[in-house]
Amino acid sequence: MKVPVKKLKSSPVNRGKLTRVDVRPPVNQQIEKKVPVENAVETVEIVHDVIRLDDFMKLCGCFGTGGMAKMAIQGGEVSLNGEICLQRGKKISPGDCVSYGGRVYEVGRR
């Protein structure tokens, strides 16, 4: 998180030096934190009959690149239908459930 920087007026002591400004919410205002619901099933729809596991993980938004998905799958962090799957090219079809990081994604059909 970047901290805003405030430029002070020129004075003999602080000749235009930058200082940090603390950003804090007002005392009477509560900060809402979004906590992911454990084991909430999200349905992700696919167009074709089957999709590769690593492509599905990218489609869900779990990973930005295929390399990241590959590392997680081969590292044993992803499970398919309740069992750890180490095959990133595994074909999955509608009705399968993939879980990663405490979230569960179900494959749906358009």
Q: Around Cβ 81, how many Cβ atoms within 10 Å?
A: 11
Q: Is pTM beyond 0.75 here?
A: no
**Domain range annotation of the chain:** 41-109
Q: Which CATH number fits domain 41-109: 1.10.3720.10, 3.10.290.10, 3.40.50.800, 3.30.1490.20?
A: 3.10.290.10
Q: How does pLDDT run along the chain (110 residues), one tens digit per residue?
A: 666 665 555 555 555 555 555 555 555 555 555 555 555 788 999 999 999 999 999 999 989 888 999 999 999 999 999 999 999 899 999 999 999 988 999 999 88
